[in-house]
Amino acid sequence: MIAAVTLRNVYKTYQQPVVNDLSFSIPAGEMFGLLGPNGAGKTTTIRMLTTLTRPTQGHLEVAGYDVVQQRLQVKQQIGVVLQQISVDGDLSVWENMEFHGRLHHLPNPQRQERIHQWLEYVELADRQQSPAKTLSGGMKRRLQIARALLHQPQVLFLDEPTVGLDPQTRRRIWEILRDLNQQGMTMLLTTHYMEEAEYLCDRIGIMDGGKLIALGTLPEFRLKHGAGLVMKQAGERWDYQFFPDLAEANAYLDQQPDKTGMMVRPTNLEDIFVELTGRRLD
């Protein structure tokens, strides 16, 4: 399998290391999620991969190009959806697309065709003349996604794509991302929503304090840490006990003479994060 994204021993240091010896790769076609709490180093990792900031040390490759030595080629191969909504509010939806298309030197009539195609795809065709500032948060995010796809990138980077959106709008964005991935788009997204990583991502890298502390699929994590969980309320906090599966967790609960404040449920990513770090994601 060809790697679409590779990081080898990557560091970024400001006053202190914020990305600390990061190594992983993403095969072409994969939807990869970087999960971690605020300040874990996820945005900095995306900023390095998308040429927005240089690594202090280490090797980064995207679509076969060296991110430091071949910035221009990398920029042509990537689409980027940043956390801050970066559409120009005074320009219309169409003009935002047009501006991006011209930046990427897309010739006409191809540029017009693609703008039509992607605005249809994200269901913004009927708003193409509206100033972008009049769009809802979810629509602006969809415009960012359409714009990022205009020059047909091989890899799409999304930093917290659904942060601040209501659950219904979040679902809509998830469907778009999933569909794009099914069409073959490689994606790296960062999130601190465990449901987002669970729902969307083939593989998940868990980051904390600039380091990758776990890497795998959710079933792999469950196999390693236990797929069944018994939670027991202990005053203000909950004690967690992991079991290989739900049946064993239930069997354990059945044996307890006093089941007050105890419950059984399947293990999720947040539980695994807590198990690994002793803290919650938020």
Ligand X SMILES: Nc1ncnc2c1ncn2[C@@H]1O[C@H](COP(=O)(O)OP(=O)(O)OP(=O)(O)O)[C@@H](O)[C@H]1O
Name the site residues for ligand X (rule: CB under 6 A). Answer: 14, 18, 36, 38-44, 192
CB closer to ligand X out of 97 and 187? 187
Nearer Cβ to ligand X (53/250): 53
How many Cβ atoms are within 10 Å of 38's Cβ, its own excluded? 10
Closest approach, Cβ 216 to ligand X, in A, equals 19
| Residue with Cβ nearer ligand X (48 or 135) | 48
**Which residue, 177 or 206, is less far from ligand X as judged by CB?**
206
Q: How far is the CB of 46 from ligand X (least distance, A)?
A: 8
35 beta partners: 191, 206
Q: How far is the CB of 259 from ligand X (least distance, A)?
A: 38
Point out the residue whose Cβ comes nearest to ligand X: 43
Q: Which two tokens stand for residue 192?
A: 């601190």
Type and span of the H or E element at 88: none
State the greatest distance between any 2 C-alpha atoms of the chain, in Å, as a whole number: 75
| Sequence-distant (≥ 6) Cβ neighbours of residue 39 within 8 angstroms | none
User: Nearest approach, Cβ of 120 to ligand X (angstroms)?
Assistant: 32
Distance of CA 180 to the CA centre of its chain: 14
Residue 4's H or E segment, with its range, is strand 3-13
Q: Cα 134 from chain centroid?
A: 26
Q: Shortest approach of ligand X to residue 103 CB, angstroms?
A: 24
Q: Toward ligand X, which CB reaches closer, 177 or 207?
A: 207
